[in-house]
Each structure stands twice: as C-alpha cells, then as structure tokens.
Amino acid sequence: MKIIRPNSKELAQLCGRGFEVKKRSRERVAKIIEDVRFRGDDALIRYTRKFDKVKMRPRQLRVAAGEINGAYQDMDPSLVSSFKVAIENVSQFYKKQLKKSWKIKDKEGIVLGEKITPIETVGIYIPAGTAPLASTVYMTVLPAKIAGVKRIVIITPPNKYGSVHPYILVMANLLGINEVYKAGGAQAIAALAFGTKTVPKVDKIVGPGNLYVTEAKRQVYGYVDIDMVAGPSEVVIIADDSANPDYIAADMAAQSEHLLGLSILITKSKRLVKAMKQQPGKGYVVLVKNLKEAADIANRIAPEHLQLMVKDPKKLFNSITNAGAVFFGDYSPTALGDYIAGPSHVLPTGGSARFFSGLSIWDFLKGIHVISYSKKALELVKDDIERIAALEGLNKHIESVKKRFE
C-alpha cells in the first residue's frame, strides 16, 4: 500500500476525482442511444448480438414465465432463506422513510400543502457480467416498491445461452416483479428511456453498471430521471490504535474485488501505518496528526463507504458531513451494508456524496404543491404581488390579480 501525506498532490487528486468519459466513448454511446430510439427492437437485438454474442427475436427479449419457474429448480433452499432475510431487513429500513401528503389551513382561508405521489414506472438495470448481482435486485426494487411505484421492470444482460441467471430471476420473483427483459449496456438504457415495441418507456432508471451504462444514463437524463452517475466502488477507513489491523486489511482487500475499487486508510497510528506497509495489494494510507484532521480529509474525499474504526465512533461521526454510508466499529464492515443490513448499497461515488444521497424512498416519490386562497386571503397580499411583479416587469401578472377585484 502507498503512504501519502495530507498535503500531497496525490491526495488532492483523489479528493478531486469524478466521473469522466473519453470523447470517443461518449460518441459511441450517443450513437447506440440514437439507434435504439429510432429503430427500437431491431437495434436492441442487433446490439445484443454484437456485444453479448446472443441471437434473439423480439419475442425473446422478455423473460417468459417458464424461465422464472425453471430458475427455482437448482436453487439451494438455504440461499432462498438468506434472500428472504435480506428482503425483510431492507423492507423494514425503507418503511421508516415513507412520506405522506400534508396540508395546513389558516383562518383567512389559505390552504397550503403537498400531495406526495410515487413515480409511475421505474426501470432497474441489473449488471450480470462476471457474477449475477442478485443483491442489487432487492437493493433497488424494494425502495421503489415500498414507495408505491405501480410498474417496476428489470433489464439485465443475457448470458451466452440467451437466458438470465436464475439467481436474478428468483429474486425478482420473490419481490413480485414479473417484467424482466434481456438486454445490457447502453442499448438497454436507451430502450428504457425511449421505449421499444417490446420494452416499456419508463419515468426513471436506477441501478449500477459499467462505464457505458453510466454514460448512457447521463445522456438520457432529462428524457427520464436517473438515480445518479456512479463510478468505481470505494471505501475510506478512519482508524486509531484501538483498531484491529487484520480487519482493516481485510476490508481494504474486499474493496479491491471491485473493478478499479478504491480503498484509503486515514490514521494517526504509526503502528497501523507500519502494519499496512506489509500488506499486499493496492490502496492508500494517509498519516494524520489527529482525528479532526482525519474527518476533514474524509469529508473532502466524500467516499461511498466510510468506516469509523476508532474508540468512540459516535463522537467522530459528529464531524462527518460527506459520505454515502457510515459504518461504526470493528464489527460493521462494508460487506454488511452491501448485502444484509437494510440501507441500499446503491450509493454516491466519485466524491458525489457531497451532494447526493444513497438510494431511498425519496428517489421514487414526487411532491405536487397545493395552493388554495380565498378572496379575502388574496386581497391581503395583492399589493405585495404587484410590487414584486412590477420589479420584474411582468404587468400581465399584476392584471391577473387585479381582475379579481374589479
């Protein structure tokens, strides 16, 4: 592991990281999106054959009921049991976030409020490259489902046999999702954003993916909403002398299992620095003077995952303002949040925790402002409206209010 100083150029670069795509890749994604937008299923099938090496017909794009039933045949019952534990934990967490419509009324006849309604249709992208990400299914579907989204569809790349991995299908079935489509990459995102004869157009797209998936989400934003623009997975660990170096090494090694995964240890402990020097693999160690400086650097990095492996994590947490998820103590590794704890593992990366939050119920709800004034209430503020509208030169706005009192 590499030791770097708090004032080093290397740390400044880590703090300034973000999501960047080369011009050639941006143009390639734009072409795919345009093709799928205007050629629909034909383009989707052509790109599936080109990138996934799978030949399909339009009717095969949607997973059939028989494929879902067949997915259970070789499934280990204990794995299904673990799936159900995860589903219960995530469900309980997000039920606490539910927001309700509200209104207030005063004696002058003013009614103000907000009508909270769910987004109607959501598309969820589930990666399926080197391994099926079954955990991403429940981590994305459940917040949407609990929010009340009426139609949730999943889209995921087919394997070389033209089928979807049984773990993904079983999890979708356990969650009551019966619309699963076979397509991956930028072409899948385009299909969700604009719709094809087979794949429905959605209002929002969520879920992680590779560079092309992420760039496609960025390009279709505005036609649909997206959860966030995400980059490689990352963990920052703040530790003091009370921390177990073996646990730290294991957690940093776990992060390296992700493609381009970033792991950083921030510590004032020279003992830990010495221990980390002997560890194989990639990662950074930042030696600081005290925990206040450690917290300041962590906030600058704004990591996806932040582990507080210190004697008093609750006290240190008071100084943390930028992180996707924070894990307290030696027995709360990032893997806990990845699979079973409850909060979604879809979290802001690349420093975007400065302005983004992890996936939540709020991502699937929208508010409609409600305004109702009586004639008496409007009369009380009509002069204020006139002064402000006159300042902006909007005379017709003034007349629209005056007309009611002629």
Residue 397 is among the residues annotated as catalytic for this protein: no
Q: Is 177 exposed, middle or buried (0-12, 13-18, 19+ CB in 10 A)?
A: buried
What pTM was estimated for this model as a whole?
0.92
Determine the Cα–Cα distance for residues 151 and 119; give it in Å rounded to an integer: 9
| Helices marked H in 284-343 | 291-301, 313-317, 334-339
Query: pLDDT 10s digit of each residue in the chain, 406 long?
Result: 888 889 899 999 989 888 788 999 999 999 999 999 999 999 999 999 999 999 999 999 999 999 999 999 989 999 999 999 999 999 999 999 998 999 999 988 999 999 999 999 999 999 987 677 899 999 999 999 999 999 999 999 999 999 999 999 999 999 999 999 999 999 999 999 999 999 999 999 999 999 999 999 999 999 999 999 988 899 999 999 999 999 999 999 999 888 888 999 999 999 999 998 888 778 999 999 999 999 999 999 999 999 999 999 999 999 999 999 999 999 999 999 999 999 999 999 999 999 999 999 999 999 999 999 999 999 999 999 999 999 999 999 999 999 999 9
- Those residues whose C-beta lies under 8 Å from the C-beta of residue 382, and which sit 6 or more positions away, are 401, 402, 405
CA 21 to chain centre: 19
Distance CA 401, CA 406 (A): 10
23-226 topology per CATH:
Rossmann fold (3.40.50)
Domain ranges, ordered by start, for the chain: 2-19+232-341, 23-226, 373-405
With a CB cutoff of 8 Å and minimum separation 6, the contacts of 82 are: none
Residue 304: active-site member: yes
Catalytic site residue from 179, 305, 392, 397: 305
The pair of three-digit structure tokens given for residue 9, joined into one six-digit string: 């150029």
Indicate the fold that domain 2-19+232-341 takes in CATH.
Answer: Rossmann fold (3.40.50)
CATH topology agreement for domains 2-19+232-341 and 23-226: yes
The tokens of 172 are what?
């979708």
**141 neighbors 133 (Cβ within 8 angstroms):** no
Q: Active-site residue among 67, 304, 379, 392?
A: 304
* Residues 158, 184 contacting (CB under 8 angstroms): yes
